Structure 1
Amino acid sequence: MKKFSTIALLIAVAFPVMASSQAFAQEAVNAAKAGKCTFLPDAPDKHVVVKGDTLWDISAKFLSNPWCWPEVWGMNRDEIRNPHWIYPNQIVYFDRVNGRLRLGQAVGGSGADGSAKDGGRLQPQVRTEDTGKNAITAIPSNLIEPFLSQPLVIEKDTLLTAPRIVATQEGRVILAKSDKAYVRGDLKGGTSFQVFRPGVPLKDPENNTVIGYEAVYLGTLKLERTAKTPDGVDSFIVASAKEEMAVGDRLMPIPPTPIQNYVPHPPERDVRARIVSIYGGVSQAGQNQVVSINKGASAGLNIGTVLELSRYGKIIQDKTDEKKPIRLPDEHYGSLFIFRVFDNISYGLIMTVTDTVAVGDLATSPE
């Protein structure tokens, strides 16, 4: 297998954490030197991009670790700031001589199979557009969209300070669309809010302490009138209602429209996290499901971080030495792509796995 350490971009996708791009570039070099980013021995010579492809999927056809695609494309900081995109019908070539991937497109346009319509030769080039509307994404964006637009994890400290519904119009028990709600708390200048109800507590597997709550999303409120006196309340109108709202439910600002493309990268420092919960309340999960872990921004995680999933090695008796207990090595079985980060909790999408994921399993820096 060939190893590489080139850092010059042919493509990139939008990177939400620009401030850490220097550290990211260094991580790319370190990963390449460590031999993490190696090509598969049976990698194809090329791949024609089709609708529905993701950068992760394409990279899995060429690389032993799909998250390494930024390194083989040679990403650098300048081109991260001016994203390039990959579109259906373009062709990804494996340059075996230089040990990297290249992007090509047929001269004079390309057919569905990526071949030149006019029979001309293929000229490698990069297509740049401002919107990237039809470009393929880094990971399956449809799987994580609900987790980007709704506050599905509420950290313990945030819960205590969030504005709350204290009364309803004419003493109604529940609220529906267009009803009026009265709210107390610091709105911090916001006018549009999501409403949630604290749900299942999330406990850290390391010490069993509550580190947050899964939130039940109820709908949205729109500010109608602010309080006129110190002991007054803010008046809101229910803009949308997914479920019934009531006194005691909490408000969170509506987050900005999320960026759908992310650059995968190893964490900037060593991480050893645990799976806290599997979305949906089940005990086990598989590929393309969402889990939460007990580490977040305070541990150095950011959007796009890739962690390695593993299970603690079993303790067995050594039958060859008076049955003394021994611990088998931790078993690595997949990858976790972090797409939403809180201070002490993160959401991750389970990518390639060879086993089921369970609460308490490890999520660590790639070896």
Structure 2
Amino acid sequence: MRVIISAILLIFVFSNEAIKAAEIELHHNAPDHYIVVQGDTLWSIASRFLKDPWRWPEIWNQNRESMKNPHTVYPGDIIVLEKTAKGNQLKLSDEKAIIKLSPKMRIEKLGAGGIPTIPANKIKPFLSQPLVIEKHALDKAPLVLGSSDNRVILSTGETIYVRDLPHDKGSLWQVFRTSKALMDPDDNNHILGYEAIYLGDVEVKNFATISSVTVTHSVQEILNGDRLIPSPPDRDVDYGPHAPNFAIKGRIISVYGGVAEIGENAIITLNKGIHDGLKEGHVLAVYRKSEVKSPTGETVMLPDERIGLVLVFRVFDKVSYALVTQSSQAIKVLDAVKTP
């Protein structure tokens, strides 16, 4: 069985002069063509052609008349790289992609929207959690008292009781617990804030002096003494990746899950935030500082080596959270992040 998916003709034109002026470089092994598949993102497609994939918006900006919306790229479209004497052309072909399906697979109608910029499912759970707070910021939040049968550990499906729960902030809440201090290694380990760990979701059954709530979702065990924060509304996660237009240098100070080595799609914490000019959508390069022993026994510092890229998606005053989008080798806590 075959399914024919039509592609939309859309042309991006790069002259040699334009590439040089904008310093947008193609990979030496960039493919001649690529068929967009379900699950692709604009970032992942750009990574196949461009050394700096976050710069695809600049290419779009040079071609506004031919490309009204970069999200009109759909699975089945064929992206072709043409190399001519006048320069390079990257275009969506007017050819048709033929996709063969086995009899066991079902055909599903594609969504109305095109492919996203970045893998939204990777960061969406982190848009409301964890939180970065002051040391005692949760002390006045509604308090989990426990359950009627005095269970110590509370989980999904159980009814628990909460004190000081206001009735004017809705019935959906999230449960948090104050966790580790986030320290700045570049400032004598000055404390930048405290991470509040997300434990789960609850829904109010009855508002009263002592309210009853049901645990609708739990990712960790909920305990007596944990605190509640109102559930935030859903947020748009389709950021436009771009490099900061200023020089910035920070460090990775933590990784979600506490693993020692960090790879693609990991969530990391940086020691830079709003006060340093960071914004959602900023792309930073990761650098490893290395040293070797010379034949004379002297320690020699090697030039910083670029080993990855991260996308900032959530920013607080002094810290921010980022998604690792590329890594050529294992990234580690205390590696540097800089303007690419």
Q: Same fold (TM over 0.5)?
A: yes
CA drift of 1:52 comes to 3.0
SS of match in other structure, 2:98? coil
Please show how residues 19-30 of structure 1 align to structure 2 within 5 Å: none
Q: Counterpart in 1 of 2:80?
A: 93
CA 1:235–1:76 in structure 2 vs 1: closer, same or farther (change >3 Å)?
farther
Identity %: 35
The answer to whether 1:202 aligns with 2:182 is: yes
Per the alignment, in what secondary structure is the counterpart of residue 57 of structure 1? helix
Gaps of 5+ in 2: 1-9, 12-17, 101-109
In the alignment, is the contact (CA less than 8 A) between 1:221 and 1:236 conserved in 2?
no
Task: State the AA in 2 paired with 1:69.
Answer: W
Indicate the SS of the match to 2:43: helix
Equivalent in the alignment of 1:56:
43
Which residue of 2 is the match for residue 211 of structure 1? 192
Match of 1:334 among 298, 308, 330: 308
SS in 1 for 2:47: helix
- Name the aligned partner's letter for residue 309 of structure 2: S
Tell me: CA distance 1:278–1:76, structure 2 relative to 1, closer, same or farther (3 Å): farther
**1:326 Cα deviation (Å)?**
5.4
Cα offset, 1:324, TM superposition? 7.4
Equivalent residue for 2:92? Answer: 103
- Which range is displaced more, 354-363 or 200-209? 200-209
Q: In structure 2, what is the equivalent of residue 139 of structure 1?
A: 118
- Which amino acid is 2:306 matched to? H
Question: Is the 8 Å Cα contact of residues 267 and 324 (structure 2) preserved in structure 1?
Answer: yes
- 2:271 touches 2:318 (CA, 8 Å); kept in 1? yes
The number of residues matched between the two structures is 310
CA offset at residue 157 of structure 1?
A: 5.9
Contact 2:167/2:207 (<8 A) preserved: no
Q: Secondary structure at the match of 2:242?
A: coil
CA distance in 1, matches of 2:214, 2:193: 26
CA pair 245-77 structure 1, distance change in 2 beyond 3 A: farther
Tell me which amino acid in the other structure corresponds to 1:93. Answer: V
- How far off is 1:103 after superposition? 2.5
Greater strand content: 2
Structure 1 residues 104 and 317, CA gap change in structure 2 (3 angstroms): same
1:167 to 145, 169, 176: 145
| Alignment deviations for residues 91-127 of structure 1 (CA, whole Å, 9 cap, x no partner) | 2233544545333344xx64339xxxxxxxxxxxxxx
| Partner AA of 2:282 in structure 1 | T
Shift of the 254–77 alpha-carbon distance from structure 1 to 2, 3 Å rule, reads farther
More helix by share: 1
Cα offsets for 1:254-282 (capped at 9, x unmatched)? 23324343321002432211001122212
CA 1:267–1:251 in structure 2 vs 1: closer, same or farther (change >3 Å)? farther
Cα RMSD between the aligned structures? Answer: 3.7
- Where 1:159 maps in the other structure, the secondary structure is coil
8 Å contact kept, 1:196–1:218: yes
- Aligned with 2:126: secondary structure? helix
The one-letter amino acid paired with 1:49 is V
> How many angstroms does 1:224 deviate by?
4.7
* 2:214 maps to amino acid: V
Q: Secondary structure at the match of 2:132?
A: strand
Which consecutive unaligned segments of at least 5 residues does structure 1 have?
A: 1-9, 12-29, 114-128, 228-232
Aligned partner letter, 1:256: P
Is residue 151 of structure 1 aligned with residue 129 of structure 2? yes
Checking the alignment, whether the CA contact within 8 Å between 1:49 and 1:89 is kept in structure 2 is yes
Aligned-residue offset at 1:331:
1.7
Q: Deviations over 1:126-175 (max 9, x none)?
A: xxx9941xx33333334334323x51243326834661315345583544
CA distance in structure 1 between the partners assigned to 2:168 and 2:314 by the alignment: 23
Shift of the 162–262 alpha-carbon distance from structure 1 to 2, 3 Å rule, reads farther
Alignment check: 8 A CA contact 1:183 1:236 kept? no
Q: Partner residue of 1:297? A: 274
Deviation at 1:85, TM superposition (A): 2.7
Letter matched to residue 342 of structure 1? F
What SS is found at the alignment partner of 1:189? coil
The aligned residue for residue 120 of structure 1 is: none
Q: Which of the numbers 256, 268, 276 marks the counterpart of 2:233? A: 256
| Alignment map for 1:21-40 (pairs within 5 Å) | 33=21, 35=23, 37-40=24-27
The answer to whether residue 263 in structure 2 is matched with residue 274 in structure 1 is: no
In structure 2, relative to structure 1, the CA distance for the partners of 1:316 and 1:249 (3 Å cut) is same
Normalising by structure 1, we get a TM-score of 0.70
Distance apart, 1:78 and its partner CA = 11
Distance 2:241 2:266 in 1: 18
Deviation at residue 360 of structure 1 after TM alignment: 0.7
TM (norm. structure 2) is 0.75
